[in-house]
Amino acid sequence: MTERLEIVFLGTGSPLPSADRCGAGNVVVAGDTNVLVDCGWGAARRLVPAGVRPASIGVALFTHMHTDHMTDVPDFLFQRWTGGATVPLRVFGPEGTQEMIDGFLLALRRDIGYRQAHHGDKLHPDGIRVEVTEVPATLEPHQFLRMGGLSFESFEVDHFPVVPAFGYRVRFGGRSAVLSGDTAFCETLAAAAEGADMLVCEALNAGMVNQLIGMLRFAGREREAALMEDVPSYHIATGEIAALAARAGVGEVVLSHLIPPIPNDAEREAEFMAGMDATYRGRVRVARDMQRIEVTRRRA
């Protein structure tokens, strides 16, 4: 019997406020192993409701250093520690990951001391420690982590001026999934997605973004409208995702990190995906926070 490979979606939103969608965060579930990928605002609070014990996570990966991908790290560290972790968290990510973790731990230094003084040996001292490995940026997928039959490969994507920014490819039990991270359309993502069973891809709906810009201008919020006009330059649009997935022969596409964020509403989700089926014939769906989606083998 093949062990499960699932993606748990903790946060499917973007920096834009949303009642339904937290900042970026996923858990890759491979058999009994849980790996966190990004931890943006609110994502840590989705773990327990999504059925993932924080202390069961021994490894965390980060795609890049934007706030909506990492500002819930302190909450995750404390949930993991107070939940019974007895070994350091192993963290992997691009250049800048060590600085990010050091900064959070410095900010938490007094709180850590207070909790140790209060709870004593009920909290294992190693459970709040973090061991960071910064992974080199490569255009082709580079394997940097293997745990039994589970492996992770990193590849650089185009999120300029955020350099480096990573996507990840996971392999387990004869199946593969690619997590795009934040990126414009780029050849490195297309190559990494070649033959993947699932592509978890950030997504921008250009029409909805233009509507939002128009609404902001109509409301006299010119500065916010001008900022939104910058957004499409380093994100991938739904039509581009469909073309990439068709070219790469991807088994199915799951959209996340939605720009703009939309409510958990089937009609709005259909509107967000509209037109993709003209180019890509596989299954496309919009993920929701706390949803679990199994990675299954693509049909030949």
- Please identify every residue annotated as catalytic: 68
Closest by Cα among 12, 37, 147 to 94: 37
Secondary structure in 3-state letters for the chain = CCCCEEEEEEECCCCCCCCCCCCCEEEEEECCEEEEEEECCCCHHHCCCCCCCHHHEEEEECCCCCHHHCCCHHHHHHHHHHCCCCCCEEEEECCCHHHHHHHHHHHCHHHHHHHHHHHHHHCCHHHHCEEEEECCCCCCCEEEEEECCEEEEEEECCECCECCCEEEEEEECCEEEEECCCCCCCHHHHHHCCCCCEEEEEEECHHHHHHHHHHHHHCCCHHHHHHHHHHHHHCCEHHHHHHHHHHHCCCEEEEEEEECCCCCCHHHHHHHHCCHHHCCCCEEEECCCCEEEECCCCCC
CA distance 136 to 64: 13
CA distance 196 to 238: 18
Chain centroid to Cα 128, Å, comes to 22
